[in-house]
Structure 1
């Protein structure tokens, strides 16, 4: 009888590389040899590269976070146009009662909604977890995001979210993993903005969509970046279109390298997507990516409350949105060039809009808090 110990390293690596991300921590705890493989940079790079061939999405549905895989390989079929891609749930993440999730370079930041409101940072690939104790009780009108500076020091941004216009000065806090400290800041923007939302992490920084405040009137939507290296907001950046609060504007990350933005006018069926050719805290440039008509899937006077993801090589977009016939049901719509489209019922039912974000696995270690002796608590898995 052949034992796992009798197999060659190459074969063991091939077998372990097929382990779903959500099962990696359990597999690592089974065998010291397997655990050492998962800590080997060459193996983890190979494993993460294989996972990255698919679009992976973290979805919070009814207070649980699940990892979903969308394989767009072979999505274009010369005979049938756009075929339905295999979409599967890889597994649930071991963290219940989640109200919000944010992704940055393989790390997930959770905001829990139980009576012991707290922030949780985890790496599903390594199984590492760290609890963050906020200074005050977590408030529903606060926004949270995780990122890192040029020295790969991870930090959490905390700032208030207001439905009323804010002035040019923004007050916010930064939690630093390295020093285990929370510091308060204030920063003056070029012009007043209103309701920063649609946030995501890209290259360590956080990008928001917000509206300029033009006197008593709402202005155009703009892009705003928080730079974790400088620990401040950058200048107001332009989007590749003019829009206001009546229109739907969504952001998405493309392979952790580019930013994509989707626009749906409040009174139109057509949607357009642009992708950045350059993205920095103080500069951005865009190109057209995809244009399609959602007339069969969407109401004309309908704002989007979902998420979208793109594969720039295959020229395909995945739109996750409410079903127009049953608004508690969430579906995925696969859109391609020349009007190709498919509807996939994968997301399930919920009274609340699911929070979704793209996910790219990594072997980044989470800096643990200091213990009473001043040393960091270490954990392999």
Structure 2
């Protein structure tokens, strides 16, 4: 019989076994031996694991007080009179490589999720790609400098090579200028791609990733809101269509799992009272989007209606739960709100926790995605900053 540490098993058999283990359980095996650690960190294993491992359950993640937490939400039986519950769970620790203190944490300004990876901007204008499942980071140096007004997205091309899009948003009353560039995590280099002048990415609308590509609600001065996407394979922007007809205003984007684009709209003016929400899900994400109706929420009898449109107009992130036919979001007053068909409730005390500032609510699926083929590890598990390459 093989020993529990696996010394009597061939490395090929160990790889086959681990490729079928959920990602969130893999990390603890890396400390068993240097050989296992090298195997579990390899690109070939990550690809095999992606093909063989069971699909992980999507988790709720929130950015709260500059930290990333799991949010545990129980929606079971809400239409049968059961009260929903929510509790702030595990905190993901993003260590600061510039600090000598063991427990020093980075203050996160914003977070973008793609394929189990987080792209984080920090309060001191740094940029990092982070796999919280593996505890690995890759700090990205700017080609020139980062700005608080920059817009970022993380995605991947047809070869599953990860890239970062940076849009330098320069707006004035008369002019619009979006200089954009891409960072390739395989070559560790920036490339300037071009300048767009006919649209803007409003700061209060969050971008999301679906199947490796990025999406935003964008705007044109004479056209209003539309859907803008960026293809990381062609490295080009493309305008996409909303569902037709689209009578609802104040659009917001989310994602179901990591594969379905989700669009929410409300039926009233930015500062009016809203009676209805409607959610559509994209059934294809090619050159042209196809949409299906998903969740319809009516709240004519709710005493909380005055919050709704204002929150979504400010770009609040949301999650659509099709199984329970509800929309879950955190309002500007940091209260978790759950909206369904003639149903509304709220969870003001998240398991006894006190929320000071929460700006992001999103889905997260743990993965073994590799941050880069060329990241050099430092003692203690931190990572070297990737070099800056001027074009």
Aligned counterpart, 1:292: 297
Q: Deviations over 1:246-302 (max 9, x none)?
A: x53211001111111122332232242323343325311222222224532241673
Change (3 A) 1:70 1:127: same
> How many residues were matched structurally?
339
Is residue 270 of structure 1 aligned with residue 295 of structure 2? no
Taking the aligned partners of 1:201 and 1:109, their CA distance within structure 2 comes to 11
Query: Any unmatched runs of 5+ in structure 2?
Result: 10-16, 96-105, 377-381, 385-391
Describe the superposition over 1:222-262 as per-residue Cα deviations: whole angstroms up to 9, x where unpaired: 10100101001013423555579xx5321100111111112
> Is it true that 1:342 corresponds to 2:350 in the alignment?
no
1:378 CA drift (Å)? 9.9
Q: Secondary structure at the match of 2:335?
A: strand
Once the two structures are overlaid, the 10-residue window that deviates more, 161-170 or 229-238, is: 161-170
SS at match of 1:299: helix
Aligned: 1:211 with 2:219: yes
2:163 corresponding residue in structure 1? 155
Note the aligned Cα RMSD (angstroms): 3.6
Match for residue 333 of structure 1 among 322, 325, 337: 337
1:8-61 C-alpha deviation (Å, 9 max, x unpaired)? x9xxx99x9799x5x974x34543398689677787878763x41xx4233222
Contact 2:153–2:164 (CA under 8 A) maintained in structure 1: yes
Unaligned runs of 5+ in 1: 372-376
**Helix, strand or coil: the match of 1:355?**
strand
Distance 2:86 2:261 in 1: 25
Change (3 A) 1:36 1:179: closer
Q: Does 1:64 align with 2:67?
A: yes
Does 2:201 correspond to 1:195? yes
Change (3 A) 1:66 1:299: same
Structure 2 residue 89 is matched with structure 1 residue 89: yes
- Choose 56-65 or 200-209, whichever is displaced more: 56-65
Say if 1:165 and 1:195, in contact at 8 Å, map to a contact too: no
Structure with higher strand content:
1
Q: Which residue of the partner structure matches residue 221 of structure 1?
A: 225
The residue that corresponds to 2:32 in the other structure is 31
Q: Which residue of 2 aligns with 1:314?
A: 324
Give distance in 2, aligned partners of 1:224 and 1:97: 29
- Contact conserved, 1:122 with 1:130, CA < 8 A, in 2? yes
CA contact (8 A) 1:235 1:282 kept: no
2:363 to 333, 358, 361: 358
What is the TM-score normalised by the length of structure 1? 0.75
1:238 aligns to 2:246 (yes or no): no
TM (normalized to structure 2)?
A: 0.74
